[in-house]
Chains A and B, each alone.
Chain A
Amino acid sequence: MMNKIAVDMIKEQEKSKEYIKQMGTRVLVCAGTGCVANGSLDVVKKFEELGANVAMKEEKVTTIKTGCHGFCENGVLVMIPEKNVTYVKVKVEDVKDIVEKHLKNGEIVERLLYRDPQNGKIQQGNSDISFYAQQTRTSLDNCGHLNPEDIRESIANSTYLALDKALKELSPEDVCNIITESGLKGRGGGGFPTGRKWTFVRIAEGDKKYVICNGDEGDPGAFMDRSLMEGDPHRVIEGMALAAYAVGADEGYIYVRAEYPLAIERLRKAIADAEEYGLLGSQILGTKFNFKLHIKEGAGAFVCGEETALIASIEGERGMPRPKPPFPANKGLFDKPTLINNVETFANVPGIMLNGAEWFQSLGTEGSAGTKTFALTGEVNNTGLIEVPMGTPLRKIIFDIGGGVRNNKKFKAVQIGGPSGGCLTEEHLDLPLDYASLLKAGAMVGSGGLVVLNEDTCIVEVARFFMNFTQNESCGKCVPCREGTKNMLRILEKIVEGKAELSDLDILEELALAVKDGSLCGLGKTAPNPVLSTLKYFKDEYLAHIEGKRCPAGVCDAFKKIVIAEDLCKGCSKCARTCPVEAIEGKVKQPYKIEQNKCVKCGACLSSCPFNAIKEV
């Protein structure tokens, strides 16, 4: 429809704000992947059924499906920002109460409010809930606050304003310079200065240039890119359009993992809507700038997160990396100059263009400007998606925002940056999280996965887990990576099975360094990191497995022993009859015993005992 074509974003924003205003009270129900799994779509349906979309009293109420609010642990989340109320763990049955009590009579439903796990105090809205209150949300600003499938909501929240300004008032060179000044660095893991990358592509010679958004978020334990694509797709698209203008590209691709169907669906809708508004396509916002955007679905290969492998995958090849140079900036997709950035990097661009480079610098530390999103998971109370200024200490993230370790267990370590990153321990809790400090500690920001480990986690098993992952995902091109990771995994398996010797540790370390030095791409270069960093900080645990033949965390099966407590055993013989290998012997009414050399540790006896006398040690 022609009449939708936007030429003046300031006017468009005013129109969209009016549109939002007529919605009345907005009930924001999280429809990110996490909350959908918890049944949020049924919650939305119930709200609609109970008439939350029609006028109540004099006030109108509108139910809206939003992207991820971030506080996944407490899903389904229902936010009513006009009243500064956030309801947590909402179930279909609770909707009636919210509609009847709160929406119709203005009474807050106390039982559905969040309570601080430490002191039991009620925290009513996002500004009170400690999980949110201590964050600085800039790129996640809109996530959870708007309907990602309605472009007018994004426009009302200032999206595409920066594009409008850039196209009409700034030269491509100006845009590159602002990004350079801001100090933004690649958020996908590498940490390369974004402005420099853009300038390389801008000055590269070519009749055709491409912009690619890397949404192949493969790090296990990371989901910030997914949340951005699902929750605020227009911000990512605007960032890409700004980049395309700055480098002189007229075509772009968003490469999304096939495991993220919802992100793909929402991006498709967003692209179609942006085209309809003349914000993508030809003669954008009435200027001469053209930008056509496509989506490419991945097919499950971790290595495609590496830029040259990703380009090969878009071209329809096996996703294998190639040597650099030539860099994609000169010879990328279909051999044309190509700019490739991560989702979060693009999401930071509109904010910088709108608020200025100085604003962005003021948010982080020297050398690491801006904010960073982290996926906080594992053994921590408040799992979810967070955004904090660069340089925020780990302690604040885990204990203040994250609410500490689950079940009052002791903090052991945090694994940062997924399979390419490393472990940080208690001594690093006050370390500022920025590029330089982490590199010094032998870890990296990576994509921003933070997995909290407690005293019950076996660190050697975690290292084995990561090695199993990278070994599986190694594309096989470089021999040190293909064979080295296999052999490293074999040694780690020997260690957790109690079959390793001390000399294996030396081989493990030697192999780690060889894989690091001898691999072409980031996957191989960083694959040994989890092993090297755990060897550095937890060597005693490796030694306990090898020399002491025990697993200090009590995780590794090989060292487990099942025993019967003599004082609790009543001699009922139930366990002996349950045991499939006849390893339990004894006389009725006297304590039974397990013959350790016969026992296969199946655990059948554990549940059979009526007196809880059988334990794993």
Chain B
Amino acid sequence: MVATKQSLTSEQKSELDRILKEYDYKKSNLIAVLQKVQELYRYLPEEALTYVSVKMNLSPASVFGVATFYSQFSLNPKGKFEIKVCDGTACHVRGSMPVYNAIKKKVGLTGDKITTDCLRFSVETVSCLGACGLAPVVMINDKVYPKMTSDAMTIVLDELMKEDV
């Protein structure tokens, strides 16, 4: 599901223009541009992608092609807390899946859904965060939590929920 289409406000357009200008409208900077856009919105709204493609003189298809190729990009809104459960080899053999399941249960996500309806939590697995010595690890926004267990994770989430009322 892609978020419903809305037109950009002039303020949003000037934000995008600033990003595009910073990167010189150069095609080789497309990925960096999209990363900045995603920083702004926490996802890539369809209308922003179209705007970028027109301004960079690229076809919308090629911009969408890049946006859908890389796993960092999301076409759907992400939660305020982006929880990334590392499922690299080291974390996997040290039990990352039970931790992942515990988080989903705690924030109330079932099935393939990755973001809660209230847009507070997104829960995903990632392939490797490179902190294998401390497996299993979980990253919430930019903070890395080492040697996680289901119980430890519940405590961390309780704290977050308390802070964010």
Contact = CB atoms under 8 A, between A and B. Distances in A.
Interface in A73-109: 73, 75
Interface of B: 26-32, 34-35, 62, 65-66, 69-73, 87-94, 126-135, 137, 142-146
A260 B88 CA distance: 15
User: Which of B28, B29, B94 has the most chain A CB within a 10 Å cutoff?
Assistant: B28
A462 B134 contact: no
User: Which of A302, A317, A320 has the most chain B CB within a 10 Å cutoff?
Assistant: A317
A299 interface: yes
A297 B29 CA distance: 10
Contacts of B73: 299-300
Contact of A223 (B28, B31, B94, B131): B131
Contacts, number: 142
Contact of A220 (B70, B128, B134): B128
Interface stretch (A1-9, A57-65, A376-384, A503-511): A376-384
Contacts of B31: 296-299, 313, 316
B92 A465 contact: yes
Contact of B89 (A33, A226, A418): A418
Contacts of B28: 314-316
A223 B34 contact: no
Contacts of A75: 133-134
A320 B71 CA distance: 14
Contact of A221 (B30, B66, B72, B88): B88
Given A37-B144, A221-B90, A259 B126 contact: yes
A141 interface: no
B93 A453 contact: yes
Contact of B146 (A38, A218, A298, A384): A38
10 contacts: A38-B146, A73-B134, A220-B128, A299-B73, A300-B70, A315-B27, A375-B133, A378-B89, A378-B93, A462-B89
A354 interface: no
Nearest to B134: A34
A449 interface: yes
Given A221-B128, A299-B31, A378-B93, A316 B72 contact: no
Nearest to B28: A316
B146 to A, nearest CB: 4
A219 B132 CA distance: 11
A318 interface: yes
B69 A301 contact: yes
A302 B132 CA distance: 17
Nearest to B144: A37
B137 to A, nearest CB: 7
B131 A457 contact: no
A258 B35 contact: yes
Nearest to A457: B93
A297 B146 contact: no
Given A221-B132, A451-B89, A34 B146 contact: yes
Contacts of B131: 33-34, 37, 72, 223
A377 B90 contact: yes
A300 B72 contact: yes
Nearest to A451: B89
A72 B134 contact: yes
Interface string A411-442: 00001001000000000000000000000000
Contact of A385 (B92, B127, B133): B133
User: Which of B26, B127, B132, B143 has the most chain A CB within a 10 Å cutoff?
Assistant: B132
A319 interface: yes
B89 A449 contact: yes
Contacts of A363: none
B133 A383 contact: yes
Nearest to A317: B66
A36 interface: yes
A220 B89 contact: yes
B70 A219 contact: no
B127 A218 contact: yes
A270 interface: no
A223 B132 CA distance: 7
B95 to A, nearest CB: 10
B70 A377 contact: no
A289 interface: no
A129 to B, nearest CB: 15
B70 A319 contact: yes
Given A385-B133, A457-B93, A475-B69, 9 more contacts: A222-B130, A299-B31, A300-B71, A315-B27, A316-B28, A318-B65, A378-B89, A379-B93, A418-B89
A384 B130 contact: no
Nearest to A301: B70
Nearest 6 A-B pairs (CB), nearest first?
A: A72-B133, A220-B88, A299-B70, A377-B90, A300-B71, A221-B89
Given A38-B146, A316-B27, A379-B93, A220 B127 contact: yes
B150 to A, nearest CB: 12
Contacts of B27: 315-316
Interface string A308-326: 0000011111111000000
B66 A316 contact: yes
User: Which of B26, B34, B91, B92 has the most chain A CB within a 10 Å cutoff?
Assistant: B92
A259 B133 contact: no
A415 to B, nearest CB: 6
Contacts of A319: 69-70
Contacts of B129: 33, 259
Contact of B94 (A261, A298, A379): A379
A104 B10 CA distance: 62
Contacts of A232: none
A537 to B, nearest CB: 17
Nearest to A315: B28
A36 B144 contact: yes
A220 B137 CA distance: 13
Contacts of B145: 37
A73 B144 CA distance: 15
Contacts of A462: 89, 93
Nearest to B88: A220
A261 B130 CA distance: 11
Interface in A435-490: 449, 451, 453, 457, 462, 465-466, 469, 472-473, 475
A420 to B, nearest CB: 12
A296 B28 CA distance: 10
Nearest to A258: B72
Contacts of A259: 126, 128-130
Contacts of B88: 220-221
A299 B35 CA distance: 8
A217 interface: yes
A316 to B, nearest CB: 4
User: Which of B31, B87, B133 has the most chain A CB within a 10 Å cutoff?
Assistant: B133
Contacts of A226: 130
User: Which of A37, A219, A314 has the most chain B CB within a 10 Å cutoff?
Assistant: A37
Nearest to B146: A37
